[in-house]
């Protein structure tokens, strides 16, 4: 950017001595899955990978994309009329009936908790106008968020198309994106959901199929299961402990529950999320025009091991002040950048903002009153 052509680097370059970092645990991970990944939510750092960029069939973890598109549609309160096409979807079902009307929000719960393929088709037809229209939206979103090795052909993940695939890495990217949405996060982490049943006197009750969430691992916060004959077992889960939020993905994992637990347990023993950059004023600028005037709008945290505690460095680069900066209004909003390095490799850049004084468009109350008074006096004097 032109803004950074002329820079002055603050004389203080911070090297972080990270305290309270746990001793490194045995980092050896061995999973049954053909592809696997463990990613940290906040930073996106990959903590473990096995053939993470290999394209594979993904089965019903496809429904993560279907769910987030439904949530982002702002139509969750709308009623969806179920088509014959939806009730004829093969495989797992929430047993919708043709012609019934059901709230879109309830369909998303049925999709995520019970993996209803009928729910997936009903959602797709309502949001996209047709299956083809919804698939277009799926691939559009995939491109938008950086899923470069993914192609969707349906909203449920059934083996009815040859060109339907993703990777463990791409599914972690999708999950990281989806978990930023509070509604998706709530649905993904729900163990039991009740939905009205229009043709019966009792409610539908859906229990989540994700046994890691419901039975096996207390730190689990959500996820999605999957299985087809060709894809075999696929699984996406999320977990949190001591402020460290993790995403695990396995494709073709015959022992996927234990794969995920092992990845999580190893990471929780090995890594700690540490705040590297804090939101607010940058105290290191202690002189000149920038003193007490520059700040960051957000914070930045990163998962670290004991071995990495000496290897962080933060460098603040600022625009050289100009002679014509006589008032704060003359100074740009963004005056530099904070660069975070780990092992001398740049891992994050954040803009540095200049705090400008509030420019009063009107005079103070006293000055305004004085002006009015002078005007009145003048009228009297002039007769």
pLDDT digits (tens, 9 = 90+) for 148-186: 999 999 999 999 999 999 999 999 999 999 999 999 999
- Is 309 or 361 the better-scoring residue by pLDDT? 309
**Helix pair 63-72, 168-178: axis angle to 10 deg:** 30
Would you call 305 helix, strand, or coil by DSSP? coil
The mean predicted confidence, pLDDT, of the chain is 87
pLDDT at 102 over 80: yes
pLDDT of 201 reads: 78
Residue 356 known to bind ligand: no
Would you call 157 helix, strand, or coil by DSSP? coil
Neighbours of 376 (CB within 10 A): 10
* pLDDT category of residue 286 using cuts at 50, 70 and 90: confident
| Percentage of the chain lying above the pLDDT 90 cut | 72
* pLDDT category of residue 357 using cuts at 50, 70 and 90: low
Q: 84: buried, middle or exposed (CB in 10 Å: 19+, 13-18, 0-12)? A: exposed
List active site positions: 60, 63, 115
- Is 210 or 198 the better-scoring residue by pLDDT? 210
* pLDDT category of residue 32 using cuts at 50, 70 and 90: very high
- Give the integer Cα–Cα distance in Å for 281 and 284: 9
pLDDT of 135 reads: 98
Identify whether the C-beta of residue 167 lies closer than 8 Å to the C-beta of residue 150: yes
Identify whether the C-beta of residue 37 lies closer than 8 Å to the C-beta of residue 213: no
Structural domains for the chain: 2-19+274-354 (2.30.140.30), 35-270 (3.40.710.10)
* pLDDT category of residue 97 using cuts at 50, 70 and 90: very high
* pLDDT category of residue 88 using cuts at 50, 70 and 90: very high
pLDDT of 122 reads: 98
Neighbours of 323 (CB within 10 A): 5
pLDDT of 331 reads: 86
- Is 201 or 351 the better-scoring residue by pLDDT? 351
Q: Using the 8-state DSSP alphabet, how is residue 119 labeled?
A: H
pLDDT at 382 over 50: no
Work out the average pLDDT over 230-244.
97
pLDDT of 288 reads: 81
* pLDDT category of residue 27 using cuts at 50, 70 and 90: low
pLDDT of 292 reads: 86
Work out the average pLDDT over 294-320.
89
pLDDT at 375 over 70: no
> Taking the complete model, does pTM exceed 0.75, yes or no?
yes
**Among 261, 263, 259, 219, which Cα is nearest to 242's?**
219
Dihedral pair phi/psi, residue 10, rounded to 5°: -55, 140
């Amino acid at each position: 950017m032109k803004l950074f052509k002329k820079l002055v680097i603050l004389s203080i370059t911070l090297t972080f001595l990270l305290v309270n970092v746990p001793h490194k645990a045995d980092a050896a991970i061995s999973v049954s899955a053909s592809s696997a990944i463990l990613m940290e939510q906040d930073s996106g750092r990959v903590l473990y990978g096995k053939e993470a960029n290999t394209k594979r069939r993904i089965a019903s973890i496809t429904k993560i994309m279907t769910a987030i598109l439904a949530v982002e549609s702002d139509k969750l309160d709308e009623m969806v009329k179920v088509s014959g096409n939806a009730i004829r979807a093969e495989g797992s079902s929430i047993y919708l009936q043709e012609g019934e009307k059901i709230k879109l929000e309830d369909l998303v719960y049925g999709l995520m908790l019970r993996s209803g393929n009928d729910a997936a088709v009903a959602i797709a037809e309502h949001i996209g106008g047709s299956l083809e229209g919804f698939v277009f939206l799926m691939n559009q979103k995939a491109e938008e968020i950086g899923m470069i090795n993914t192609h969707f052909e349906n909203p449920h993940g059934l083996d009815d198309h040859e060109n339907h695939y993703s990777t463990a890495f791409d599914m972690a990217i999708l999950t990281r994106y989806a978990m930023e949405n509070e509604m998706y996060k709530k649905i993904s982490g729900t163990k039991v959901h009740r939905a009205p049943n229009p043709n019966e006197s009792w409610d539908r009750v859906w229990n989540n199929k994700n046994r890691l969430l419901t039975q096996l691992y207390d730190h689990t916060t959500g996820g999605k299961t999957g299985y087809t004959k060709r894809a075999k077992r696929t699984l996406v889960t999320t977990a949190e402990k001591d402020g460290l939020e993790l995403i695990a993905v396995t494709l073709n994992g015959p022992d996927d529950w234990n794969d995920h637990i092992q990845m999580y347990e190893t990471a929780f023993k090995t890594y700690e999320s540490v705040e590297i950059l804090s939101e607010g004023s940058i105290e290191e600028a202690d002189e000149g025009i920038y003193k007490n005037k520059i700040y960051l709008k957000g914070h930045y945290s990163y998962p670290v091991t004991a071995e990495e505690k000496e290897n962080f460095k933060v460098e603040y680069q600022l625009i050289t002040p100009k002679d014509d900066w006589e008032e704060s209004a003359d100074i740009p909003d963004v005056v530099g950048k904070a660069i975070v390095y780990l092992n001398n490799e740049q891992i994050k850049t954040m803009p540095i903002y200049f705090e400008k004084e509030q420019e009063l468009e009107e005079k103070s109350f006293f000055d305004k009153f004085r002006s009015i008074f002078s005007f009145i006096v003048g009228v009297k004097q002039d007769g």
